[in-house]
Chain A
Amino acid sequence: MDYLELFLESIGTLTLNKTRTGLAILGIVIGIGSVIALVSLGQTSQQAIQSQIESLGSNLLTVRPGSINQSGVRGAAGGRTTLTLDDAKAISSSPQITTVNSVSPESEQRTQVTTGGNNTNTEIMGVEPVYAQVHNVTMASGNFITQTDVDSMTKVAVLGPQVVTDLFGEGANPIGQSIRVKGQTLTVIGVTTSKGGTGFMNQDDIIYVPLTTVQKQLFGTNYLSSIVVEAKSAEVMVDAQDEVGYLLLARHNLKDPASADFSIMNQQDILNTVSATTGTFTALLSGIAAISLLVGGIGIMNIMLVTVTERTREIGLRKALGAKKKVITAQFLMESIILTFSGGIIGVIVGIITSYIISDLINAAFVISPSAILLAFAVSAGIGILFGWYPANKAANLQPIEALRYE
């Protein structure tokens, strides 16, 4: 009995009971489909988050006040006041610094902002004009903070789109209007374009104000909350980190890097951390999907066992007519392989369509993982053989006379 014949025979048997065959296939379709859809959902969101982080700017080092580790006690980052505007100026002007493109001193604080009847709690970011270049800020309307604004401590503000919505209503043009922050009145001169992000990562919920205005007029502090340094390229990030670090150590009269009163965070580190988190998320989703695949496989085994029981007489007859064990095993194995394979193919298609719909819904780039498809398919084939083998073997070992007598 050659394989083509066996295949055609099995197809014939499977089409005799379409409902049951369909249900068995459905189990595998759901299993495979969910593996592919969930893995691709994980990867889609991973890419979305990464591209969001990259939109913050590239090749960035963030210097924050506070220590990484002091005498074994970790200080809270940002909890100390050690970075000054002079530090930032030194970084941009020192001859020892060769790998840095631009330096953006920043002073950030959350506070209540009001206008007319509305108010919101948002981020006030004191910046210099270089901020826009370092962080890829683009304007939707009006202008960003200029050097003149910084030099003369102008009371102006550039709003993120979320703040515009919160204070003036969606789509309103706030340019020329005034907002009140810490008892001061600031005039809105521009609105930035949306950078996306949601919840605590919302990059649109922010107000940019000249650095000097923030320091002298709003919060009365000389310290910076961070100095963001843009390296010349991704390759020199580590060099830039060292150069900036040693310069600041020298300026702060510290000899031991371990006792530094600031920390430098590499953007790559942040990216890695986030990747690891979303990777865990993807693994979790895949785990859930794998369980549904397993359940689908057991469904196939169940159907095959029922089939063997139901066709006991037929198996007995086939053996009585001279079918050897191998032939009976092959026949039932072939049936379960056909079930899992057709389920696998439909599952792959369903999975791809589902992940396309999901990526469309969350506005992310459509990512499909060939390895997930391959894996899911291999697993389904494996399930077909594994879960088909037991019933097939059971059928092959039936004694012909007992099988024939079976009612």
Chain B
Amino acid sequence: MNTKPIIQTSHLSKIYKTGTLETIALENISFEIQKGEFVAIMGPSGSGKSTLMHILGALDKPTTGIYLLDGKNVEKLTDDELAEIRNQKIGFIFQAYNLLPRTTALKNVILPMIYAGVPKEERMEKAKKYLNLVGLSDRMEHTSNQLSGGQQQRVAIARALSMNPAILLADEPTGNIASVQAEEIMAIFQKLNDDGHTIVMITHEHDIAQHAKRIIHIRDGKIIEDGNGHKQKKIPACAGR
């Protein structure tokens, strides 16, 4: 069994410079995430959780510190190698869905597979499979602006899954949608995690975070609490009363 963590960060920091003003977004972040975990990152807005997510998703680079993604030092990779990593290993679910405008659900899901060079028939088949999984088999030919927020988010999930990535990164996946739909999406996440997908999710909603097995709390760019599995199990019990 491979015990190497899929995500490993040590002393990550991110500093934004605007003129002479320095803003510290992240400071001394160190943690590990093992394969198959379902982690929620919580924190108030401005706590740096989105910045952390972007670094984890290889969309951004830390100012200092080391980030090993599946054993590879992300900082040493070229732009094109990063693109490949994002394509092959990471499924990113954005808060704002970020679907291609005026493009069908099917084409949106196919897009990462086009970049990966998956043969035409295979990617068609896969896209249909994942759209089916998120319950959108009857909406495949709808363009993104013809879909509701929850439907768009489900298309984004199908897209993130299409390359069968090692990690799913979700940035406030339920932030823009109604609570009923949010529950549906969490159910999908739960199912994916049960199937062995590693999921890292940002949220500021407690009841959404309860679905995760581990919660990392961030404030002012620092980890203030990293709840383990035991503690996790208690919280839903309390919440449920």
A interface vs B, CB < 8 Å?
A: 1, 5, 16, 313-314, 317-327, 399-401, 404
Q: How many angstroms between the C-alpha atoms of A327 and B79 in the bound complex? A: 13
Task: For the complex, count residues of B whose C-beta is within 8 A of A.
Answer: 25
Q: How many angstroms between the C-alpha atoms of A404 and B97 in the bound complex? A: 11
B111–A318 touching, CB < 8 Å: yes
Known: A321-B87, A324-B84, A325-B79. A16 touches B112 (CB 8 A): no
Chain A residues closer than 8 Å to B92, beta-carbon distance? 320-321
B100–A317 touching, CB < 8 Å: yes
Known: A1-B114, A325-B80, A327-B115. A320 touches B86 (CB 8 A): yes
Known: A314-B100, A320-B86, A321-B112. A400 touches B59 (CB 8 A): yes
- Cβ of B63 under 8 Å from chain A: no
A321–B115 touching, CB < 8 Å: yes
Q: How many angstroms between the C-alpha atoms of A324 and B101 in the bound complex? A: 20
A401–B79 touching, CB < 8 Å: no
B86–A321 touching, CB < 8 Å: yes
Q: What distance in Å separates the Cβ of B100 from its nearest Cβ neighbour in chain A?
A: 6
SS class of chain B's interface: helix, strand, loop or mixed?
helix
B100–A324 touching, CB < 8 Å: no
The residue of chain B having its C-beta at the shortest distance from the C-beta of A12 within the complex is: B103
- Cβ of B126 under 8 Å from chain A: no
- Cβ of B224 under 8 Å from chain A: no
Q: For chain B, residues 92 to 127, give those with C-beta under 8 angstroms from any C-beta of chain A.
A: 92, 94, 98, 100-102, 111-112, 114-117
- Cβ of B60 under 8 Å from chain A: yes
Q: How many angstroms between the C-alpha atoms of A5 and B119 in the bound complex? A: 12
- Cβ of B181 under 8 Å from chain A: no
- In the complex, per-residue mask of B51-73: 1 if CB is within 8 Å of any chain A CB, else 0: 00010010110000000000000
Chain B residues closer than 8 Å to A323, beta-carbon distance? 83, 115
Chain B residues closer than 8 Å to A314, beta-carbon distance? 100-101
Interface centre among A1, A319, A322, A399 (most CB of B within 10 A): A322
The residue of chain A having its C-beta at the shortest distance from the C-beta of B160 within the complex is: A321
B54–A322 touching, CB < 8 Å: no
The residue of chain B having its C-beta at the shortest distance from the C-beta of A16 within the complex is: B102
Q: How many angstroms between the C-alpha atoms of A324 and B88 in the bound complex? A: 12
B159–A321 touching, CB < 8 Å: yes
Known: A319-B83, A322-B88. A401 touches B114 (CB 8 A): no
Chain A residues closer than 8 Å to B54, beta-carbon distance? 401
- In the complex, per-residue mask of B154-167: 1 if CB is within 8 Å of any chain A CB, else 0: 00000100010000
B59–A324 touching, CB < 8 Å: no
17 A-B residue pairings within 8 Å (CB atoms): A1-B115, A1-B117, A16-B102, A313-B98, A314-B100, A318-B111, A318-B115, A320-B57, A320-B92, A321-B87, A322-B87, A322-B112, A322-B115, A325-B83, A399-B60, A400-B59, A404-B94
